[in-house]
Amino acid sequence: MAKTVNLPEKIYDDLAKVAEELTFMAKKPISQSMAINLLIEVYHAHLNNRCALDAFSQQLASLDIMSPEEFDRYWDAPSKPQEIKRKTKAKKQGIS
């Protein structure tokens, strides 16, 4: 049974573009749900390599990741993404 997923508009647009690109590459129709499935399969295949899994886990653990609520607000408010990006860049550069 299909489930509905709410995506921020920007992410939905990116997904639609990926599905179009995959359609072009495959020379066959690729739906958005098929695109998600393919991306998940690539993710699993990549992380089956132990070195890739370790490296990805370390990178993910070291990132300053937003909470799910912050992420949703980031994409819901068009003026806020720029402010958040600037703050993130400042932290990465060691600027307070």
55-84 pLDDT per residue, tens: 999 999 999 888 988 888 887 765 444 554
The pLDDT, as a whole number, for residue 8 is 86
CA atoms within 13 A on the CB side of 59: 6
The pLDDT, as a whole number, for residue 80 is 47
Taking the model in full, what pTM does it have? 0.66
Domain boundaries, the chain: 8-63, 65-96
Pairwise CA distance, residues 7 & 26, whole Å: 25
pLDDT confidence band for 94 (50 / 70 / 90): low
Q: For tokens 């890739």, what's the residue?
A: 52
19-30 pLDDT per residue, tens: 999 999 999 999
The pLDDT, as a whole number, for residue 78 is 58
Tokens of 91: 């932290």
Cβ burial, residue 47 (10 Å; 0-12/13-18/19+): middle
